[in-house]
Amino acid sequence: MKLVSFLIVSLLTIVVAIAFSGLTGQASVVNFPTNYQTKFFQYATVACPKSQIVRKMYVNPEVIDAIATTGTVPSDTIIAMETHSAKIGGDGRLIPNQLNNVFVRKKKTGWRVSNDSGEWQSTWYSPSGNLVSSSQGSCISCHTMVRDRDYLFTLPALLKAAKTNQMQYQKTEFGTSVCQ
């Protein structure tokens, strides 16, 4: 009798744990994509002239064909963005001189951190891959600005780069506090 109730309690604990992880959507921290600089495709460079920052965006190569043919971003897309401090060069272009952060977002069917986050989870790393923050709130609060682009500011550049195989260079369209 004792064994039966022990088994029932164990089973309930597991069921509750699974249900809870499903509800919160906190499946896991998005891993640091090791060797993204050589394995991923760099689809965009965004200049922030006022902030003197250059941001470089990379996408995992497995999803590029699907993005090019469907014009949408599939489950299992991983985007890594580097932020570099920069100097203004002779031609007025920004020249990156130090890598400071790597921001990673991953899309997975069924991931819902909040009602207005799309199916994305975010993590912030140091250049060497040490975790800086896995808190979702601040990332979500700004990326809701582009919910009509699947929460990706650079979706148009990503679509164009996937179709043409050409990295897109542009100045920030948005002028937010993090890139002006």
Where do contacts with ligand HEC occur on this chain (CB under 6 A)?
46, 48, 55, 57, 79, 81, 103, 105, 122, 124, 133, 138-139, 142-143, 152-154, 172, 174, 176-179
**Least distance in angstroms from the C-beta of 65 to ligand HEC:** 19
Cβ proximity to ligand HEC, 42 vs 68, nearer residue:
42
**Least distance in angstroms from the C-beta of 129 to ligand HEC:** 14
**Least distance in angstroms from the C-beta of 133 to ligand HEC:** 6
According to DSSP, residue 74 is labeled: P
Cβ proximity to ligand HEC, 19 vs 76, nearer residue:
76
Beta strand residue intervals within the chain, DSSP E: 41-48, 53-59, 78-88, 94-107, 120-125, 131-133, 168-171
Cβ proximity to ligand HEC, 98 vs 176, nearer residue:
176
Cβ proximity to ligand HEC, 8 vs 137, nearer residue:
137
**Least distance in angstroms from the C-beta of 122 to ligand HEC:** 3
Q: Which contacts of 139-143 are long-range, i.e. CB under 8 A and separated by 24 or more positions?
A: 139/103, 139/105, 140/113, 140/114, 140/116, 142/176, 142/178, 143/117, 143/118
**Least distance in angstroms from the C-beta of 10 to ligand HEC:** 37
**Which residues are CB-neighbours of 164 under 8 A, at least 6 positions away?**
none
Cβ proximity to ligand HEC, 10 vs 138, nearer residue:
138
Task: Count Cβ neighbours within 10 Å for each residue of 65-75 and write b for 16 or more, e otherwise.
Answer: ebbbeeeebee
Task: Look up tokens 């990706």; give the residue.
Answer: 152
